[in-house]
Structure 1
Amino acid sequence: MDTYGELRKRGFEVIKYYKFVRGLDSTDEDLIKILKAHCFTMLYNLIESVATNAFEEVYDACGQHTFDDLRSEVKMIVLKNVQGRNARDLVGVLNSLSGDIVLASFKKDELFSGNLDARKLRDTMSEYGIDRRSDYKNDGMHVIKINRNDLGHGVKSFVECGRDYTIEDLGEYIFSTIRFLRRFLSDVERYISAREYLMPTAS
């Protein structure tokens, strides 16, 4: 899966930033709080990028088959997505109800829209019929989402956000999130490799 590379690249960036903040020798307490708060933005970007790219790979795999071949859960998602598309845009790319409709229905930037945490990811996997080999519990991802949204919408300043967390807290959020995303990618990779997105008779 190409998305493993995305996890490695962005995960390395977050860890490098975390080590910089952890090793910073500064008496400016507000600066440290600001830098800690920024970690939530980087972490959320990591989470949404990896999850979105993984589901894009699912769509790419589904698009190699006809609509009739897809398992019922995926068909329902495709049809729901098509409802929100401009019919004029779809007519130009559809020759038949083939894999074209699957690819045309996917809008990468609308998949999670800033609301991704462990629960949302579990729910999305269930919608696609992706089996999970672990409980996928990660309270830290909810904390990351809330803080990222609070910062993005101006609910909290960076100083207000950063003062509530220690550097040790951030380290735990970072490494538990990366472990979580590795498990997630493993399950998605298995789903694609085993062609579990297809009806049993079509695989």
Structure 2
Amino acid sequence: MSSIQINNTHLFDAYLEFQDKCDEIERYIAFLDKLDSGSDNHLLSKNKDSFWENTPITREVQKTIRASTYLLIYNLLESSMCNALDAIHLTLESESIDIQTVSTKIKRIIYNNLKNGLGEKSIDELVTNNIDLRPIIMKHGYNKKDLLSGNLDVDVLRKIEKKYGFESFPVDGKNGLYSPNTIREIKVKRNELAHGSLSFEQCGQQIPILSMSSKYKDARNLMLAVFNGLNNFLNQKKYL
């Protein structure tokens, strides 16, 4: 995997978690490719009498395993994106940045979060307890888990970039490019599987064998481009 020199501690933590998830998926896909390449796959296990026996891994089970890869890859995209964006907010907090000094884009995000977090109950508590909102204004109402919720594709990424004011840059030239159509397919299939509108076996039937590795590569390259762009954004303090 391409390496990015990341100086920001919060973004580096997100990048390390991303790498761990990539390693997990690569091990899974290596196993899947072995299944797809074999004509007679079996699982070796001990029976109740402690004798070794072969249990066939049926084509139906292999289809289910193949379809499950969509969930792993989409999880890589969404969780890594949320962690990467969270690095911006953690940086603002750890550096005790004054809200008046941040960019207009970031200021708008903070005020929208504040508006969402200030329900009637919260307002009553602030007034009743005479709470000073200034120390928590930068993060009040913000929850990184609410950033995407099964919605990430390239179109959404472009909106996020515009919203925060950063731009993703592919790593490794042509080898770092990705297909927007593949990213959208990953999102759609993940949602169909997660919501039950498509069974795992049906989904796996539609996936050509030995094809999930290339889909994973596109997802990995997209996130590498995001980390690369956010690395520049944070290093150059473009949030100010």
TM-score calculated relative to the size of structure 2: 0.75
Q: Mapping of 1:137-152 within 5 angstroms?
A: 138-152=180-194
User: 1:108, CA displacement in angstroms?
Assistant: 1.3
Distance 1:72 1:136, change over 3 A: farther
Contact 2:179 2:218 in 1 (8 A): no
Distance in 1 between residues matched to 2:211 and 2:115, nearest whole Å: 42
Q: Mapping of 1:96-175 within 5 angstroms?
A: 96-97=133-134, 100-133=136-169, 138-175=180-217
User: 1:136, CA displacement in angstroms?
Assistant: 7.0
Contact 2:82 2:144 in 1 (8 A): yes
Q: Structure 1, residues 176-200: CA drift from partner, whole Å, max 9, x if none?
A: 21122111101111111111011xx
Distance in 1 between residues matched to 2:187 and 2:20, nearest whole Å: 20
* Number of aligned residues: 196
User: 1:106, CA displacement in angstroms?
Assistant: 1.7
What's the secondary structure of 2:26's corresponding residue?
Answer: helix
Could you tell me which of 111, 117, 129 is aligned with 1:85? 117
Q: Sequence identity of aligned pairs in percent?
A: 23
Per mean C-alpha deviation after superposition, the further-off stretch among 145-154 and 171-180 is 171-180
Partner of 1:19: 30
User: 1:137, CA displacement in angstroms?
Assistant: 5.1
Distance in 1 between residues matched to 2:139 and 2:62, nearest whole Å: 44
User: 1:96, CA displacement in angstroms?
Assistant: 4.6
Could you tell me which of 95, 100, 109 is aligned with 2:132? 95
RMSD between superposed Cα atoms in Å:
2.1
Could you tell me which of 39, 48, 66 is aligned with 2:98? 66
Which stretches in structure 1 are left out of the alignment for 5+ residues? 199-203
Distance 1:21 1:137, change over 3 A: closer
Distance in 1 between residues matched to 2:14 and 2:158, nearest whole Å: 18
Per mean C-alpha deviation after superposition, the further-off stretch among 126-135 and 14-23 is 126-135
Distance in 2 between residues matched to 1:137 and 1:16, nearest whole Å: 23
Which stretches in structure 2 are left out of the alignment for 5+ residues? 1-11, 42-56, 171-176
TM-score calculated relative to the size of structure 1: 0.88
Contact 2:110 2:138 in 1 (8 A): yes
